[in-house]
Amino acid sequence: MSSERITIKSHPRAAGSIRRIKARGGLIGFAIGALASWAHGGLMVSILVHGLEGGVAGYLACWFAAVTIWKHVIYAELRSAIDKRNAALAAVSAKE
Quickly list DSSP for 27-67. HHHHHHHHHHHHHTT--HHHHHHHHHHHHHHHHHHHHHHHH
The answer to whether position 36 is within a domain reads yes
Q: What pLDDT, on a 0 to 100 scale, did the predictor assign at position 8?
A: 87
The answer to whether position 2 is within a domain reads no
Please give the torsion angle defined by the CA atoms of residues 16, 21, 26 and 27, in that order, rounded to the nearest 10 degrees. 100
What's the DSSP call for residue 8? T
For residue 96, pLDDT beyond 80: no
The answer to whether position 77 is within a domain reads yes
Total structural domains within the chain: 1
- Phi and psi angles of residue 43, each rounded to the nearest 5 degrees, phi first: -75, 165
The structure's pTM equals 0.81
The answer to whether position 55 is within a domain reads yes
Q: What pLDDT, on a 0 to 100 scale, did the predictor assign at position 4?
A: 77
The answer to whether position 40 is within a domain reads yes
Q: What pLDDT, on a 0 to 100 scale, did the predictor assign at position 93?
A: 86
For residue 45, pLDDT beyond 70: yes
| Structural domain for 53, as ranges | 14-95
Number of other CB atoms surrounding residue 96 within 10 Å: 4
The answer to whether position 25 is within a domain reads yes
The answer to whether position 6 is within a domain reads no
The answer to whether position 70 is within a domain reads yes
pLDDT tens string 2-42: 567 888 888 889 999 999 999 999 999 999 999 999 999 99
For residue 1, pLDDT beyond 80: no
